[in-house]
Structure 1
Amino acid sequence: MVKALVVDDSRFMREVLKNILEKGGIEVVGAAENGVEAVEKAGALNPDVITMDLEMPEMGGLEAIENIMDETPTPILVISSHSTKKAEMTMEALDRGAVDFFVKPGGDKSIEISRMSSELVQKVRAVAGTEPVIDISSERQTDFKGIKDIEGQPTLIIGASTGGPKCVEKVLSDLPLESGFKIIVVQHMSSPFTKQFAKRLDRSSEYKIRESGERDKIRVGEGLVARGGHHLKVISYQKDRVGVRLTNSPPVNSIRPAIDVTMMSAARKVDGVLVGTLLTGMGRDGVDGARAIKEVGGSVIVQDEATSQVFGIPKRAIEAGVVDRVLPINEIPKNILDVVRS
């Protein structure tokens, strides 16, 4: 049985979370009302997973996450809420070691979280099953030789879920602007978190990255992050630009934005070099999209098990036989360039 530690400064929310998790078959071994207690109980109770609030007295969630990662590394699921401030804090929490986050509907102390109990339980179980991965902050391994000879101004689509933000950032920060990609990122994430994620990618990459608009165009040297809560479809293609639009069509693979929607639409429209990359995450989203890319002569690269926090999406694609290369995250940027060179 998965053992969880619940951390929240609201007694009401601690009880709500405890009831949801226990009804879902997860043993709640303890609770903490601030970061100081969270650090102490993480060491004393040895939970499989911690649900972490961010704004708490004495010690906030960000500091608590950092201390736990230093002293007793434990998978952490941040419990956040819809606001720009919380989105910024949540991105910082992922930087400090949290695996994923769950958005509380209806505000910090709303009972509405109960209607999403099954999704919360699923996320807690997924995060509990993660393992620490190798350092992905190493120096760029990109081989610049032949970059100027790349033709066709290639299109790159990156799909990721649980554990994905750091890995997406690693790939984009290692891709040189000279390679001339047009980039689309589909990260399983809600809005306004996708906007903050795009800003973070823009700061760390040579490419100009932004959250997608209702109708948008991606030019050479630019990238878009699919806006949370919407599918992103490729609707037009020219050598130097890709046209996209957002849709509110039903979730695919129980998620919106779905990787499959973007990859399959790109396979139909992109008449040029097309590369699909699937990174860490749970579920099978991206498998059909990868197959579509392969069918039109594109290439598919997936992250290996050793560096994936959740080896779900890449594993399903490998099992489906729609993958060209399986690689550690640090080697993926170089191999993306190798693919388009060839």
Structure 2
Amino acid sequence: MIRLLIIDDSALMRKLLAGIFEQEGDFEIRTARNGAEALVLAGSFAPHVATLDINMPVMDGLTCLSRLMVETPLPIVVVSSQTPEGAETTLEALALGAVDVIAKPAGTVSLGIDRIQPMLVEKVRAAAGARLRPTLRLADRIRHAMSRTASPDQPAPAAPPARHRADQPDPTAGLVLIGASTGGPQALETILTGFPEDLPWPVLVAQHMPASFTGAFAQRLNRICPLPVSEVRQPTILLPGHIHVARGDADLIVARRPAGLIATPVPSSPSHRWHPSVDRMVTSALNHVPAGLLVGVLVTGMGDDGAAAMARLSAEGGQTIAQDEDTAVVWGMPGALVRLGGADDVAPLPDIAQSVARAVARACSHTREATCR
């Protein structure tokens, strides 16, 4: 049996969520009305996984999460509102160690809960099997969150220095393609903040995440990364050294226009299970860019999205990197790539940024010197 702790101040939400998992037949469930109750139950019930609301009385979700990750660490799926404020606090929760997020249904909850039920169950099952590794700088993040709670007037951290990047596409440049799911936001933060400021290729990121969160996620990354980061909300010219995050609940594809390569959001494909689809992003890139000018990266996440397309990328002469099992929260996606024989490099999370930089340099060395600045 999977022991599940549901943490939510809404009696209706607790009842609906408990009903969903009771139907599954293999969950033992306890509920908590706030963070203080959750801390007590985490010790006595010893759950394998928890769902967590953010806005609660007595003890809010972020404070509860910070305490849980120190005192009784366990995988947590945030079930959050879709408001802009909800998006920001949800990203704080992911930075503190939550492994996944799902948006609460808009409108009448009792009518919308059926729509999210299949994805919610799959996310919670995957989280229950997740391995919690010491997250890079997690202790510092928790101390920072607690200090901000104690001192709300503390100045915000300084923005990264102004980044002067090329404002024209490079017609001969390649692309870095990154796919992630469960545990991905923390992994992506580690990778993208480690990229060199002179990375000569555009970077495309497909992180399985609802649309209500991807914009705030891109903004958060833009504040901490050495390269500019933005969400792809419309057809966007791909510029060297820019990071483009796919919009949630849609797919991102690569196309070629007279001005150069573009990334554009398109309606999610029913033939792909997860969105933004990594497989669809990589396949579209292969249709317009030689495989030798593509570097594919697959990191933590459930399922196998991206594995088939990246195995093809490798077979056609591109370079692929899979996160290793020891540092992945869920080794589903990168593990599938390894099992297909499509991973040219299997690297621990802290080494992936440099592995990408080396792969780009190798690809550049096969082109004219003037191609890569």
- Distance of 2:108 and 2:329 partners within structure 1: 28
Residue 50 of structure 2 aligns with which residue?
50
Once the two structures are superposed, residues 272-291 of structure 1 have per-residue CA deviations (whole angstroms, 9 ceiling, x without a partner) of 62100000000110012202
Instruction: Report matched runs for 1:150-299 at 5 Å.
Output: 153-236=173-256, 242-271=261-290, 273-299=293-319
* Cα 1:43/1:107, change in 2 over 3 Å: farther
- TM-score scaled by length of structure 2: 0.84
Amino acid at match of 1:129: G
Instruction: Report matched runs for 1:1-342 at 5 Å.
Output: 1-107=1-107, 109-137=109-137, 153-236=173-256, 242-271=261-290, 273-342=293-362
Of 169-178 and 113-122, the range deviating more from structure 2: 113-122
- Distance of 1:202 and 1:245 partners within structure 2: 19
For the residue of structure 2 that corresponds to 1:235, the secondary structure is strand
Structure 1 gap segments, 5+ residues each = 139-151
* Cα 1:202/1:212, change in 2 over 3 Å: same
Amino acid at match of 1:48: H
For the residue of structure 1 that corresponds to 2:186, the secondary structure is helix
* Cα 1:250/1:267, change in 2 over 3 Å: same
- Distance of 2:223 and 2:250 partners within structure 1: 24
- Distance of 2:137 and 2:356 partners within structure 1: 18
1:114: how far off?
A: 2.8
- Give yes or no for contact 1:106–1:112 (8 Å, CA) kept in 2: yes
- Distance of 2:120 and 2:26 partners within structure 1: 11
- Distance of 1:204 and 1:25 partners within structure 2: 43
* Cα 1:70/1:30, change in 2 over 3 Å: same
- Distance of 2:297 and 2:220 partners within structure 1: 20
For the residue of structure 1 that corresponds to 2:263, the secondary structure is strand
Residue 145 of structure 1 aligns with which residue?
none
Residue 141 of structure 1 aligns with which residue?
none
- Distance of 1:243 and 1:119 partners within structure 2: 30
- Distance of 1:252 and 1:137 partners within structure 2: 38
Of 77-86 and 246-255, the range deviating more from structure 2: 246-255
- TM-score scaled by length of structure 1: 0.91
Once the two structures are superposed, residues 24-43 of structure 1 have per-residue CA deviations (whole angstroms, 9 ceiling, x without a partner) of 12434321101111111111
1:313: how far off?
A: 0.3
- Give yes or no for contact 2:300–2:334 (8 Å, CA) kept in 1: yes
- Give yes or no for contact 2:174–2:294 (8 Å, CA) kept in 1: yes
- Give yes or no for contact 2:16–2:110 (8 Å, CA) kept in 1: no
- Distance of 2:99 and 2:135 partners within structure 1: 14
Of 199-208 and 129-138, the range deviating more from structure 2: 129-138
- Distance of 2:137 and 2:38 partners within structure 1: 27
- Distance of 2:59 and 2:213 partners within structure 1: 23
- Identity score, percent: 38
For the residue of structure 1 that corresponds to 2:350, the secondary structure is helix
- Distance of 2:50 and 2:243 partners within structure 1: 34
1:108: how far off?
A: 7.8
- Give yes or no for contact 2:102–2:120 (8 Å, CA) kept in 1: yes
1:107: how far off?
A: 4.3
- Distance of 1:157 and 1:237 partners within structure 2: 19
- Give yes or no for contact 2:97–2:135 (8 Å, CA) kept in 1: no
1:58: how far off?
A: 0.8
Once the two structures are superposed, residues 158-193 of structure 1 have per-residue CA deviations (whole angstroms, 9 ceiling, x without a partner) of 100000011111111001121222010000011121
- Distance of 1:300 and 1:237 partners within structure 2: 26
- Give yes or no for contact 1:279–1:308 (8 Å, CA) kept in 2: yes
Q: Number of residue pairs matched? A: 329
- Distance of 1:198 and 1:115 partners within structure 2: 26
* Cα 1:322/1:36, change in 2 over 3 Å: same
- Distance of 1:208 and 1:241 partners within structure 2: 19
1:109: how far off?
A: 4.0
- Distance of 2:194 and 2:334 partners within structure 1: 21
- Give yes or no for contact 2:315–2:342 (8 Å, CA) kept in 1: no
Structure 2 gap segments, 5+ residues each = 139-171, 363-373
Amino acid at match of 2:189: E
For the residue of structure 1 that corresponds to 2:276, the secondary structure is coil
Once the two structures are superposed, residues 268-314 of structure 1 have per-residue CA deviations (whole angstroms, 9 ceiling, x without a partner) of 11246210000000011001220232243210001000000001001
- Distance of 2:194 and 2:221 partners within structure 1: 11
